[in-house]
Amino acid sequence: MSEVVTYKREGAIGVITIDYPPVNALSHAVRSGLLDALSQGQADEEAKALLLVCEGRTFVAGADIREFGKPMQEPSLPSVVNAYESSDKPIVAAIHGTALGGGLELAMGCHYRVAVPGAKVGLPEVKLGLLPGAGGTQRLPRLTGARKALEMITTGNFISAEEALEAGILDEVRSEDTARAAGVVIAGDVIAQMKPPRRVRDMEEKVRADRGSDVFDEFRATLEKKSPNLFAPFRCVDAVQAATDLPFEEGVKRERELFMECMKSPQRDGLVHAFFAEREASRVPGLPRDTPVRSVDSAGIIGAGTMGGGIAMNFANVGIPVFLLEQKQEALDKGLALIRRNYESTARKGRITSQQVEERMALIRPTLSYDDFSDVDLVIEAVFENMDVKKEIFGELDRVCKAGVILASNTSTLDIDEIASATSRPEDVVGMHFFSPANVMKLLENVRGSKTSSEVQATVMKVAKRIGKVGVMVGNCYGFVGNRMLHRRGAEATALVNEGATPQQVDKVLTDFGFPMGQFAMSDLAGIDVGYRIRQERRKAGEQVAPNWMDKLAEEGRLGQKTQAGVYRYEEGSRKPVPDPAVDALIEQFRMEHGIRPRSISNDEILERCLYVMVNEGAKILDERVASRALDIDVVWIHGYGFPSYRGGPMFWADQVGLETILASIKRFRDTSGGDQWEPSALLEKLVSEKRRFSDLN
């Protein structure tokens, strides 16, 4: 008898129970156990119907992703699903939590399906670069019709139990205390009414009606616009179309072919890596999982600007009261008005109710006085990037706040240790770097100072999860992980324009690669003055910072979207970047002043220089232990800067390109354009000489 799947008869119902924490994934042991339990049920003459349920937090959440890439062990999931569907005893699946991927496919292989309120179902395989590979693309359209099946399978979105009932996936949504109890009721009805096994594969009506429909090309056209670079979504459409064109058995064969094409795609590799890396990042090497954490039941944010306001929203969204402090009432009013506008626009989209808007606004308490911070558990400073101002603020916080408070700075580049030195409690000081817009972007870069205690580190990692962020713990250096690599890419992109490329050419290379925005469109969004002020601060501090044509934009007041002109021009009310001949002239002028003869630059050179300089910097960051693992850097870039997740992040992608190839190019760029950015990372050279990859460091 398998420990993970058991069979037990209750009256005339043979109950098959999966118990394989944390999410009852369909590992080899579960698949084998399912077949054993089915055989027992079929041999049990007293059992007139079978009931499939799961213990723990959820019904089956899918195939066991940890088995991907390893040799598949029989029984395969399709064969298990087919065995359940072929059973001559009716089988009921009772769903709670999330029935996803192979889990929903298994439930559709059963003959009746019931769920409890709050349950969700979905086929999220496309988010892993796959498609439902155990009959899902053939059975779902037989239940819902092609359009609903395409919507679910090409987006991977979950739907509620009520929506699934409406769509024809479920037979009932019942409010018994447990899914098991609901399942027992349904199985009892099946027996009492002598209902036969109702096999989804025999349901031909809806797929016949959809044969030859335009819906497939309609979805392909939408995907061409929305995600032209992705491989799997288009295969999903092909698989669902096969369900309408072919008999079931042939459709399943076609699904298998398409599934294997996706399984072999580098995009599946990247997406599965991104899935696990996001979860692994929350386990910080050297920080034991049982490290004590402090409770955070109240917060205080300093600065009611775009960042401070967005940060405050994150806490209000999860019911944590938060003081918002400014120096002047006018700035406070402006900040609160922006927060309200953001909430009201979310409410207009139907994502929250107007009552929730008021509840959240009530949790954000404006103040002009530090005294209100005397009892908060966490303070996050979010004022502009000036070290003197930040130190003054932390000195004040040190005087006002209670013992045990966590004092955090949202600084994006400045030295956490220097900020901590303005207090008597450096062990309680940490960086919490949010990404703009702070109430939207998922990444929270937690920065440990040299004295930040383990308790404080563990607490801010827990806060990240609680406010719905992806937390990554990084070390303290200029720009930490994300911005340090971004600044290298920005400098290279700017140099490429100096040398002859246009800003729009550089941006198109990056968006064609899969970034949501190019380097210069991003500068316009963030504000040209942000980079300008940082370069001026570094020049003031005596650093050698090369002249930069973007300085001229700032000096001419072309600050980006906020002034409707930056690197690009912006029509009134539009955020669409439009190339501007005035900027071309400004760049020409800059080249002449600096004796630069422009040359035409290939897209390959642009991509290599923008991305390899990031990889090289990432390797240096790893070498300095500023990031603990390559996967931490991948997670920072996917969730903080929109690095295409199907490429797995910069370090995972570098492994796929080949470190030897990249190192050779880095050495070539060092020899042609010089600059410390092209000094090859010693770690990269070591990995290449040892024929290892960044993933060996995870």
Please list the active-site residues.
105, 125
Burial pattern 155-177, b for ≥16 Cβ within 10 A else e, equals bbebbebebbbebebbbbbbeee
Query: CB of 270 within 8 A of CB of 301?
Result: no
Of positions 51, 54, 61, 186, contacts ligand T1G by CB under 6 A: 61
Among 13, 18, 23, 458, binds ligand T1G (CB under 6 A): 23
The reply on whether position 527 binds ligand T1G by CB under 6 A is no
**Shortest separation between residue 80's beta carbon and ligand T1G, angstroms:** 10
Chain residues 294-353 in contact with ligand T1G, contact rule CB under 6 A:
none
SS3 content of the chain, % helix, strand, coil (to 5): 55, 10, 35
Q: Which of 12, 29, 35, 65 is the binder for ligand T1G (CB under 6 A)?
A: 65
The answer to the question of residue 102 lying near ligand T1G (CB under 6 A) is yes
Residue 278, helix vs strand vs coil:
helix
Cα–Cα dist 6/111, whole Å = 20
| HEC string for 364-419 | EEEECCHHHHCCCCEEEECCCCCHHHHHHHHHHHHHHCCCCCEEEECCCCCCHHHH
**Which CB atom, from 105 or from 326, has the smaller least distance to ligand T1G?**
105
Stretch 171-210: interaction string toward ligand T1G, x if CB under 6 A: ----------------------------------------
Q: Are 11 and 52 in contact (CB under 8 A)?
A: no
Q: Which is nearer to ligand T1G, 104 or 215 (CB)?
A: 104
From the list 33, 109, 129, 136, which residue makes contact with ligand T1G (rule: CB under 6 A)?
A: 136
> Least separation, in Å, of the C-beta of 258 and ligand T1G?
12
Alpha-carbon gap, residue 625 to 481, rounded angstroms: 11
Q: What is the largest CA-CA distance in the chain?
A: 92
> Are 15 and 53 a contacting pair, CB within 8 Å?
yes
Token code pair at residue 461: 């990692």
Given the complex with ligand T1G, which of 138 and 498 has the nearer CB atom?
Answer: 138
Give yes or no for a contact between 639 and 433, defined as CB atoms under 8 angstroms apart.
Answer: no
Q: Does 692 bind ligand T1G (CB under 6 A)?
A: no
Give the distance from CA 448 to its chain's centroid: 23
Asked if residue 236 binds ligand T1G (CB under 6 A), the reply is no
Quote the CA–CA distance of 39 and 44 in Å, as a whole number.
8
Of 131-139, 184-192, 331-339, 644-652, the window that binds ligand T1G (rule: CB under 6 A) is: 131-139
Member of 134, 230, 284, 683 binding ligand T1G (CB under 6 A): 134
Nearest to ligand T1G of 265, 616 (CB atom): 265
What part of residues 25-44 is at the interface with ligand T1G (CB under 6 A)?
A: 25
DSSP classification of residue 231: S
Minimum distance, C-beta of residue 39 to ligand T1G, in the bound complex (Å): 22
Stretch that binds ligand T1G, among 55-63, 176-184, 550-558, 591-599 (CB under 6 A): 55-63
The yes or no reply on residue 426 touching ligand T1G (CB under 6 A) is: no
Q: Which tokens sit at 650? A: 């910069």
**Smallest gap from residue 101 Cβ to ligand T1G (A):** 3
For residue 142, give Cα distances in angstroms to 80, 150, 195, 643: 19, 12, 20, 37
Nearer to ligand T1G, 630 or 659 (CB): 630
Contacting residue, 62, 109, 618, 648, with ligand T1G by CB under 6 A: 62
- Which of 29, 8, 32 shows the shortest CA–CA distance to 20? 29
What x/- string results for residues 70 through 99 when contact with ligand T1G is judged by CB under 6 A?
Answer: -------x--------------------x-
Q: At 156, phi and psi to the nearest 5?
A: 75, 10
Helix axes 630-641, 603-623, angle to 10 degrees: 130
Quick check: 479 and 488 in contact, CB under 8 A? Answer: no
Residues 6+ apart with CB under 8 A from 225: none
By CB under 6 A, is residue 121 in contact with ligand T1G?
Answer: no
Per-residue contact string for residues 262-281; x = within reach of ligand T1G by CB under 6 A: -----------------x--
Are the beta carbons of 513 and 630 closer than 8 angstroms? no
Binding of ligand T1G by 128 (CB under 6 A): yes
Q: Which is nearer to ligand T1G, 125 or 415 (CB)?
A: 125
- Region near ligand T1G per CB under 6 A, out of 48-56, 100-108, 429-437, 671-679: 100-108
Q: Which of 34, 38, 54, 63 binds ligand T1G (CB under 6 A)?
A: 63
- Applying CB under 6 A, does 133 fall inside the site for ligand T1G? yes
Our CB check for ligand T1G shows the closer of 68 and 222 to be: 68
Binding positions for ligand T1G, rule: CB under 6 A: 22-23, 25, 61-66, 77, 98, 100-102, 105, 124-125, 128, 130, 132-134, 136, 279
